[in-house]
Amino acid sequence: MVKAFAARHGSALRSLAMVGGTLATAAALVVGAVLAVFFAATVAVIAIMASALLAFAGLAMRARRTARARYRADGVIEARHLGGHHWVAYGWNERA
Length of the chain: 96
d(CA 75, CA 71): 8
Tell me: the pLDDT tens digits for 30-73? 999 999 999 999 999 999 999 999 999 999 998 877 766 555 56
Separation between Cα atoms, residue 91 and residue 71, nearest integer Å: 8
Q: Strand, helix or coil at 33?
A: helix
**pLDDT tens for each residue of 49-61:** 999 999 999 999 9
Cα separation of 12 and 6, whole Å?
10
Question: Phi-psi region for residue 66, left (φ > 0), alpha (ψ -120 to 50) or beta?
Answer: alpha
Tell me what the mean pLDDT of segment 67-83 comes to.
Answer: 69
The secondary structure of residue 76, as a DSSP letter, is P
